[in-house]
Amino acid sequence: MTARLLIVGPQGSGKGTQGVRIAETFGVLPVSTGDVFRAAVSAGTPLGEQVKAIIEAGDLVPDELTSAVVRDRLAQPDAADGFLLDGYPRNIAQVAHLEEFLEGRGESLDAVIELDVPRDESIARLSRRAAEQGRSDDTEEGIANRLAIYERETAPILDVYRTRGIVDRIDGVGSLDEITQRIIAALEARGLDRPAAA
């Protein structure tokens, strides 16, 4: 059985870590926008060259190009059995691009995992990460700015998916394992099965 999933949450919600765990559990391909960009750039594809020039100029990759790079990745054979998207779509325009692509293949998302983490918890986690990893972009001002962008641009995509009844809101506070178990339980309640152990 295939599963087409999307994980959404503010910075510091742990969605990158949980995304990989859930993709592994359900036997689908984890597709993180950052990884896809890096792969396209290192492969030197025409799309990758465009992305590289934009990133090197310090600009954000526009929606059309982001969608083209993700579409290209999802069209590859290893994504045929399903995927878990992390970091895309990040706004309403990208939702429309994804829908158009999936509809063209007679597919749709099976579930959207919303990691619900209070703002102060996200800030505390990111501040801890900054101290541990010496990340210069994780200043208090930088963190607040990224969370504001998430709230303004990304959070509204959840309303689109809520109207379809495919959003599972998961409490994102707790141990890694507790949160993973909550997500698995929600997806299994939707009838998504884990692949049988080989």
For 9-46, the DSSP string reads --TTS-HHHHHHHHHHHHT-EEEEHHHHHHHHHHHT-H
Q: Which of 38, 52, 90, 119 is catalytic?
A: 90
Distances 44 to 35, 140, 150 between C-alpha atoms, Å:
14, 35, 30
128 is catalytic: no
146 is catalytic: yes
Going by pLDDT thresholds of 50, 70 and 90, the confidence category of residue 1 is low
129 is catalytic: yes
Q: Which of 38, 71, 119, 146 is catalytic?
A: 146
Going by pLDDT thresholds of 50, 70 and 90, the confidence category of residue 132 is confident
21 is catalytic: no
- Let me know: does 179 contact 171? Beta carbons within 8 Å: yes
Q: Which of 38, 71, 129, 194 is catalytic?
A: 129
71 is catalytic: no
pLDDT tens by residue, 28-73? 999 999 899 999 999 999 989 999 999 888 888 899 999 999 999 9
pLDDT over threshold 60, residue 198: no
Q: Which of 105, 128, 135, 162 is catalytic?
A: 135
Q: Which of 15, 21, 125, 182 is catalytic?
A: 15
Taking residues 74-80, what's their average pLDDT?
94
**pTM, 2 dp:** 0.91
The full set of domains in the chain, from first to last, is: 3-189 (3.40.50.300)
